[in-house]
Amino acid sequence: MDSFEHLHVTSEHQGHLVRLRFEHGKANEMGRAHVAELARLVDALENSEARAMISHSQRITRSGTPVFSAGADVHERRDWDEGSVLLHVRGQRRTLQRLALAPLFHVCVVDGLALGWGTEFCLTADYVIASPKARFGLPETGLGIVPGAGGTAQLASRVGLGHALRMGMTGELIDAEEALRVGLVHERCDSADDAMERAQALALRCMSRSPTAVAAYKDAVRAGVGLSNDERESHESRAYEHCVTCGEAARGRQAFEALKNGELLDWGPRRGR
């Protein structure tokens, strides 16, 4: 197992699985240093053989409240000028956009508060699992700004226009049940431990499949969101043809009987994108 620990973000590489754990500050607030570390991790993910990632937090406040991320580090920006703020937010927006497109299956497990940036981070994940203590919200308009790392641009495509406007314009917190109902999260488990077990099971299933096909599928599905049917089918065609022309489809055909019988195939490294 290869692992590396930064001051604020811990990433562990266990074979083809990456575990990203937020464990800094009082409530995992994201400041300049934290976003820079996340950007370095995204650099590594784009060029690694990782096939799945589980992001989570075990941070608990002094009052005993679990927290995923309480949002951006607003205190850090107190003396910044407007140019510094804009530069920083543009950078974190690009980092989260790149994370959303990383060629692996990203499962986010939320236990506790996911506010502002914490909710926006969830929008980058391919699948979000919540514990009963999960809470989501966008408080930014109460601070004179709008969500700047995806909450304005991406939330409506996940939960619909009305719920996106409700969350962003009122700052109302929603619990795990409501987040599941509106589609912000995809599953709710009975405990944080159950949520992690479910995430691990999904990651293992993904890692047993062709990393080339998985990456091509994710790229085609994400690229097609909001496009016309013809445009979506064009993305599908390119993804399928890539799997054929790089030889991955032939490997699957040759191993079909073994795969049908439940045997695991060593697919080897991902082939292009």
82-110: per-residue pLDDT in tens?
999 999 999 999 999 999 999 999 999 99
For position 23, what pLDDT does the model report? 86
Question: What average pLDDT does the segment 227-246 reach?
Answer: 96
For position 61, what pLDDT does the model report? 85
Residue type, 208: S
Residue 60 and residue 126: Cα distance in Å, rounded? 25
Tokens of 190: 């009975």
pLDDT surpassing 80 at residue 115: yes
In percent, the amount of the chain with pLDDT more than 90 equals: 74
Q: Residue 11: which pLDDT band, with cuts at 50, 70 and 90?
A: low
Q: Residue 177: which pLDDT band, with cuts at 50, 70 and 90?
A: very high
Residue 189 and residue 173: Cα distance in Å, rounded? 19
pLDDT surpassing 90 at residue 69: yes
Question: What average pLDDT does the segment 22-43 reach?
Answer: 88
Residue 107 and residue 177: Cα distance in Å, rounded? 18
Question: What average pLDDT does the segment 197-201 reach?
Answer: 97
Q: Is the pTM of this model over 0.85?
A: yes
CA 251, 106, 1: angle at the middle one, nearest 5? 75
What is the architecture, at CATH level 2, of domain 2-207?
A: Alpha-Beta Complex (3.90)
**Which pairing describes strands 9-14 and 17-22: parallel, antiparallel, or unpaired?**
antiparallel
Q: How many CB atoms lie within 10 A of CB 154?
A: 19
